[in-house]
Amino acid sequence: MKAIVQRVTEARVDIAGKTVGRTGPGVLVLVCAMQADSEANAEALANRIAKLRIFRDAAGRMNRSLLDTGGEALVVSQFTLAADTTSGNRPGFSAAAPPADGERLYEHFVTALRATGVTVETGRFGADMAVHSVNDGPVTIPMER
């Protein structure tokens, strides 16, 4: 699985003008299931994100995790993270998991992240979403598992 983790002061996702998920201080996670991914990949990525030390400690160093800070997560599916841009001008997305597998793994990732104790809100798989975020830092971390 691939993810982009952004440390945010706030984030929300809207569908057709209605907010369906939001978070205060924490992370916005854009996540994509790839063709060869399994539930084990989803669980490993969720555990790594929950423990990722990207929040400031008392000395101002990035030394605390979501679990340490009580931060929240807004998780949004984004198959375009699978983009292949090695040739031509139009990205290819054939490395992404098929929609049914992608949705199953996305839901499994969300469940695994919640199981770590992190409060999680979500977008809606496959929907046309407007994602709003205030990146804190800015801190943006690409991850794979």
- Catalytic residue annotation: 78-80
Q: How far is CA 8 from the centre of its chain?
A: 12
Q: Among candidates 2, 94, 95, 83, which has minimal Cα distance to 41?
A: 2
In 3D, which of 39, 23, 33, 9 has the Cα closest to residue 82?
33
Both structure tokens of 105? 């793994």
Beta bridge partners of 110: none
Between strands 119-122 and 72-77, the pairing is parallel
Helix (H, G, I), strand (E, B), or coil: what is residue 81? helix
Alpha-carbon span 19 to 81, nearest angstrom:
23
